[in-house]
Chain A
Amino acid sequence: MTTEHMNEEHTAAAGADDVVLEVSGLSVTFPSDDGPLPAVREVSYELRRGEALGIVGESGSGKSVTSMAIMGLLPRNAKVEGSAKLLGQEIIGLSDKRISEVRGQKIAMIFQDPLTSLNPVYTIGYQIAEAVLAHRKVSKKAAMDRALELLEIVGIPSPEQRLRQYPHELSGGMRQRVVIAIAMANDPDVIIADEPTTALDVTVQAQVLEALQKARQETGAALVLITHDLGVVAGQVDRVGVMYAGRIVEMGAVEEVFYRPRMPYALGLLGSLPRLDGDRGDRLTPILGTPPSLRDLPEGCGFAPRCPMARDLCHQEEPRLALLETGDRQDAVEDGGSVEGTGPAHTAACHFSEELVGATAADLFRATSVDTEGVGSVAEVEAAESSVAGARGEYLDELGEEPGRAGSGTAEPKVLLTATDLVKNFPIRSKGLLRRRIGDVQAVSGISLDLRERETLALVGESGCGKSTTARLLLNLIKLTSGEVSYLGRPLHDLTDRRMRPLRKDLQLVFQDPFASLDPRMTVADIIAEPMRIHGSAHRDARKRVSELLELVGLNPEHGSRYPHEFSGGQRQRIGVARALSLNPRVLVLDEPVSALDVSIQAGVINLLEDLQDELGLSYLFVSHDLSVVKHIADRVAVMYLGKMVETATTDQLFSSPAHPYTQALISAIPLPDPVKERTRERITVTGDIPSPADPPSGCRFRTRCPKFANELSDAERAKCVEEPPELMDRGAGHRDACHYSKVIELI
């Protein structure tokens, strides 16, 4: 059925001439106290001139280590085996002198975090010119001229001035473009970009991806794009390789892999992803278990312990990456995919890949909300599900005694939490003893919202828009500068800590970082019981409830005596949810609750939150920067920009007919994990960076980046944007936006 060793055949067919990078049998092992860690195992691929190859995988899959090994940038104690040929020249194991001639000249690299990639003590110009001078015998002046030219290519405004500036004076997006400029300085044949946009906001991500495209056009370089973001891959590359536990487990044309994955892991990954182009009702399917520890990799297929279709063979023999039968291609064409007759080979490392023809994630994986990280088999999940169901039943019975709680279904849902004209300014103080107030960061500037019973209201926006501050103001965790917050009609904002305490039972918070939000020195039981203790619950009652709560969030109730570090990210997030639920709250404020989790784990937590809401009748204020997740979970959405709300509507309205230019730009900047849709959709791009909240623009705060302001409006119309801050106006059916010239368009 499958053909072993795709390499020889494929190379022969394609012709070796245009191959710029050929990696074969590359393995990387790190020594450690507990024996060797095989971070990368037998990775082989080739990259043709001008081609874009994506490498996707979750954290720890070895995708970054692979490229660092190719660049020769790993620490000296790493053991690198195998070969990487650049334009026919072997580059693994070269001396410092020889590899220095290759790096930057023929192969260049872009790193993940633009804030740390540039040396803080040298100017931008110096650092770009340095890259030129490393390989070309030109004058410093000529190198600087080249630096200027490069800055223009990557689209940095007023480049002459930037040359003389230091990295800390530039924004993250700007710095990443400088790094791209450095990468393209010597017209390399290959550019490796390692998560180049992960640290950036989506609108800035779109700009940086554009700069990367520009760099490829200018240099004709082939691209290896390493990312965990399937949406970015879908839009940017021709071929994609999926990595798992240090190996490539599937590789092929991006359409092939996305539409017809033939390795259960790839299928599972796609199924666990909340999608902007999906329906709200769709259940996500998390993958069971966690990625294996590199220290003791399972025998046989690395994915077998998590794979729902694993059989004895899978646990015994590791499948090779094998060329798939072309019969599959036929289906592909019928499905309407755009595969040409001689497209790149599609390979997968699965003993039973032929069984996956036409399969969907839902066929294979289970849309469950129990903790899938701690369990290994579908049977266990089912058992856990039934016991969780029991626990939830009991839990509801107990709650039932509380009046006014379960009673829903009447016409208009009750408004629980109301905010009116919230304003929060953080003073900027001078250094030194006096600490005079020398300015204000206007974090939140007049936000009004209602949170109703049993609904999920999402607060979305990019970093610095004030969404987290708003959430904390609503909980009275920080003091507001002006405005009002009330819960069930009772004003909260002027309550003292003592008077506020009883109300905290009803209003609880779940945090973003599952590692920082649990006290590492306390057991899980103590952590979950803490809110009850604070509110004077007896020790034994608290203990009893802890096991109920653990079960409620899908964890094993016997694990209460463990410490947080013994749990993985998703499990910790469940513990955080259990803690928040311990006081029977009515409102949960969720601050980016899934954005620190790998996608395959994120899905389970999202399912949990949905189930809990349905069963316990909770209201959620869901703070997030991720519109895909928001679309999946929210009933209503409020979009924030620089401390102001720019648009609010039901989820359906907002995504089907966004009215504010910022919302439109935001939606269109989210990459869709669907190659065809992603490449053919209409784009509304914004330029520049988010202004500082310490000094926001006059009038409409978005005008400095607004595409409508820049391209469509007349001078007279613009004057209004500059002078008059737009009010949030109702455009009908509760869909409100704050733009003088808003116009609904359809984007997805």
Chain B
Amino acid sequence: MSENGMFGSAHREPAKKAKNSADRTQLQTVLIRFSRHRPAMISLVLLALIALFAFVGPFFWTWDHTVYREIPSNQPPSGAHPLGTSAAGHDVLGQLMRGAQQTLKVAFTVSLLSTAVGALWGATAGYYGGRVDALMMRIVDIFLIVPLLVAAAAIAGNSGAGASWAAIALIISIFSWATIARVVRGVVLSLREQEFVEAARASGASAPWIIIRHLLPNAAGPIIVAATLLVAVAILAEAGMSFLGLGIQLPDISLGQMIGAARTAVSTRPWLFYPPGVLLVLICLTINFIGDGLRDALDPRQTRVRR
């Protein structure tokens, strides 16, 4: 009925445009839109390469992340050790592969775990609303006010959990599911009021039917985006913990720990300090761009013109 300048006309376009390509499924549409987001596509390729480097690299490289007597200490980059060696006798390239691997493992586990718990929690709160919602979200608030890194580091340090990456992932998850819960609850709260949900109720659909067939599929977009961005948050948290010496412990290695060990050698042995940092930045950057691209692809309203 109403017309809102360019926005009014823009509103009609998706329907029109899609009609020309009626055979496209929604997934295809999302993929096509994502592929148009150039920074996200570049990031995806880069991230895939990094993952390859971290998980497949070790099979092809002579040295792993542990100390070898054959390795001379404190060597700058050379043919035998392209990224140099550490004082104790590590090959930095080998350390880097293992470190990236541990970092990625922790981060993706955190994301999966937090998303599962957070989505369930948030959907329940949003669907039931009222007092249940108020109480459940108050609990979420508590987890949100505790600084993530500090709390996780305190527990990890206190319990000495740093021996395994899985324990670190679990601890970070405890303090990061709340953000997902908040996002999902917000989405479900507005979806719940949509007429198509009422239509299902008017046909006699039960609560689980509505949640599974209508609410969750429609909340998938924001959930995927939040989960992606959480990966980057988890990476930085793990790195921070390991830097403080409260995350992954020797003889295992993580990127944060490498930076921590090299922090007094920034200018004297830069080969120890810069590579893990650059790799961390690269991983986080690519993931953030992928998240941005997903947001654009999954939420048509937020589409922005990009060159």
Do A and B bind? Answer: yes
The CA of A436 and the CA of B3, in the complex, are separated in Å by: 41
Min distance, Cβ B210 to any Cβ of chain A, angstroms: 10
A311 within 8 A of B: no
Q: A195-B3, A228-B1, A566-B19 are in contact. Are A294 and B199 (CB under 8 A)?
A: no
User: When the two chains form their complex, are residues B13 and A504 in contact, meaning their CB atoms are under 8 A apart?
Assistant: no
Which one of B4-12, B174-182, B242-250 is at the A interface? B4-12
Contacting B at CB under 8 A, from A197-218, are: 198-199
The CA of A62 and the CA of B3, in the complex, are separated in Å by: 8
Q: A516-B196, A517-B196 are in contact. Are A509 and B202 (CB under 8 A)?
A: yes
User: When the two chains form their complex, are residues A477 and B194 in contact, meaning their CB atoms are under 8 A apart?
Assistant: no
Instruction: Indicate which residue in A75, A295, A433 contacts B13 across the interface (CB closer than 8 Å).
Output: A295
Question: How many residues on B have C-beta within 8 angstroms of the other chain's C-beta atoms?
Answer: 43
User: When the two chains form their complex, are residues A293 and B203 in contact, meaning their CB atoms are under 8 A apart?
Assistant: no
Q: Which residues of B contact A74 (CB under 8 A)?
A: 5-6
A535 within 8 A of B: yes
Q: A433-B134, A519-B214 are in contact. Are A75 and B6 (CB under 8 A)?
A: yes
Q: Which residues of B contact A34 (CB under 8 A)?
A: 17
A598 within 8 A of B: yes
A8 within 8 A of B: no
Mask for A391-415, Cβ within 8 A of B = 1, else 0? Answer: 0000000000000000000000000
A285 within 8 A of B: no
User: When the two chains form their complex, are residues A59 and B204 in contact, meaning their CB atoms are under 8 A apart?
Assistant: no
User: When the two chains form their complex, are residues A519 and B196 in contact, meaning their CB atoms are under 8 A apart?
Assistant: yes
Contacting A at CB under 8 A, from B110-149, are: 130-131, 134-135, 138
A10 within 8 A of B: no
User: When the two chains form their complex, are residues B202 and A59 in contact, meaning their CB atoms are under 8 A apart?
Assistant: no
Q: Which residues of B contact A596 (CB under 8 A)?
A: 1
Min distance, Cβ A573 to any Cβ of chain B, angstroms: 12
The CA of A325 and the CA of B214, in the complex, are separated in Å by: 59
Q: Which residues of B contact A61 (CB under 8 A)?
A: 3
Instruction: Indicate which residue in A112, A534, A535 contacts B2 across the interface (CB closer than 8 Å).
Output: A112
Q: A59-B8, A293-B13, A433-B138 are in contact. Are A195 and B198 (CB under 8 A)?
A: no
The CA of A16 and the CA of B295, in the complex, are separated in Å by: 55
Instruction: Indicate which residue in A64, A75, A504 contacts B4 across the interface (CB closer than 8 Å).
Output: A64
Q: A63-B3, A68-B5, A598-B1 are in contact. Are A583 and B19 (CB under 8 A)?
A: no
Instruction: Indicate which residue in A30, A57, A534 contacts B203 across the interface (CB closer than 8 Å).
Output: A534
Instruction: Indicate which residue in B2, B26, B201, B204 contacts A563 across the interface (CB closer than 8 Å).
Output: B26
User: When the two chains form their complex, are residues A530 and B8 in contact, meaning their CB atoms are under 8 A apart?
Assistant: no
A508 within 8 A of B: yes
Q: Which residues of B contact A613 (CB under 8 A)?
A: none
User: When the two chains form their complex, are residues A511 and B195 in contact, meaning their CB atoms are under 8 A apart?
Assistant: yes
B268 within 8 A of A: no
B150 within 8 A of A: no
B78 within 8 A of A: no
A568 within 8 A of B: yes
Closest to A596 in B: B1
Q: Which residues of A contact B19 (CB under 8 A)?
A: 566
Min distance, Cβ A487 to any Cβ of chain B, angstroms: 14
Mask for A566-604, Cβ within 8 A of B = 1, else 0? Answer: 111000000010010001000000000001111000000
User: When the two chains form their complex, are residues A433 and B15 in contact, meaning their CB atoms are under 8 A apart?
Assistant: no
Q: Which residues of A contact B131 (CB under 8 A)?
A: 433, 435
Q: Which residues of A contact B3 (CB under 8 A)?
A: 57, 59-61, 63-64, 195, 228
Mask for A24-39, Cβ within 8 A of B = 1, else 0? Answer: 0000001001100101
User: When the two chains form their complex, are residues A566 and B15 in contact, meaning their CB atoms are under 8 A apart?
Assistant: yes
User: When the two chains form their complex, are residues B201 and A516 in contact, meaning their CB atoms are under 8 A apart?
Assistant: no
A479 within 8 A of B: no
Q: Which residues of B contact A520 (CB under 8 A)?
A: 218
User: When the two chains form their complex, are residues A64 and B8 in contact, meaning their CB atoms are under 8 A apart?
Assistant: yes
Min distance, Cβ B128 to any Cβ of chain A, angstroms: 13
User: When the two chains form their complex, are residues B5 and A65 in contact, meaning their CB atoms are under 8 A apart?
Assistant: yes
Min distance, Cβ B13 to any Cβ of chain A, angstroms: 7
B68 within 8 A of A: no
User: When the two chains form their complex, are residues B22 and A566 in contact, meaning their CB atoms are under 8 A apart?
Assistant: yes
B251 within 8 A of A: no
Mask for B1-41, Cβ within 8 A of A = 1, else 0? Answer: 11111101101111111110010001000000000000000
Q: Which residues of A contact B6 (CB under 8 A)?
A: 30, 37, 39, 65, 74-75, 78
The CA of A198 and the CA of B205, in the complex, are separated in Å by: 36
User: When the two chains form their complex, are residues A433 and B135 in contact, meaning their CB atoms are under 8 A apart?
Assistant: yes
Min distance, Cβ B180 to any Cβ of chain A, angstroms: 20
The CA of A597 and the CA of B2, in the complex, are separated in Å by: 10
Instruction: Indicate which residue in A68, A198, A565, A567 contacts B1 across the interface (CB closer than 8 Å).
Output: A198
Q: Which residues of A contact B80 (CB under 8 A)?
A: none
Q: A500-B204, A534-B205, A579-B199 are in contact. Are A59 and B12 (CB under 8 A)?
A: yes
B217 within 8 A of A: yes
User: When the two chains form their complex, are residues A64 and B5 in contact, meaning their CB atoms are under 8 A apart?
Assistant: yes
Contacting B at CB under 8 A, from A720-741, are: none
Q: Which residues of B contact A511 (CB under 8 A)?
A: 195, 198-199
Contacting A at CB under 8 A, from B231-287, are: none
User: When the two chains form their complex, are residues A504 and B203 in contact, meaning their CB atoms are under 8 A apart?
Assistant: yes
User: When the two chains form their complex, are residues A565 and B15 in contact, meaning their CB atoms are under 8 A apart?
Assistant: yes
The CA of A497 and the CA of B19, in the complex, are separated in Å by: 39
Q: A60-B8, A517-B195, A517-B199 are in contact. Are A501 and B204 (CB under 8 A)?
A: yes
Listed residue (B134, B200, B203, B220) with the most chain A CB atoms within 10 angstroms of its CB = B203
Instruction: Indicate which residue in B18, B196, B202 contacts A475 across the interface (CB closer than 8 Å).
Output: B202
A562 within 8 A of B: yes
A531 within 8 A of B: yes
A512 within 8 A of B: yes
Beyond A293-B17, A477-B198, A519-B217, list 10 extra A-B contacts (CB 8 Å): A59-B2, A295-B16, A432-B134, A517-B199, A518-B196, A521-B214, A530-B203, A530-B205, A535-B204, A568-B12
Could you pull out 14 A-B pairs where Cβ atoms are within 8 angstroms? A57-B3, A59-B12, A64-B4, A74-B5, A112-B4, A195-B3, A228-B2, A228-B3, A432-B134, A516-B195, A519-B196, A530-B205, A530-B213, A583-B203
Kindly list the 8 A-B residue pairs having the minimum CB-CB distance in the complex, ordered from nearest.
A531-B203, A517-B195, A501-B204, A504-B204, A511-B195, A509-B202, A519-B196, A521-B217
- B binding-site residues for A, Cβ under 8 Å: 1-6, 8-9, 11-19, 22, 26, 130-131, 134-135, 138, 194-196, 198-206, 209, 213-214, 217-218, 220, 305
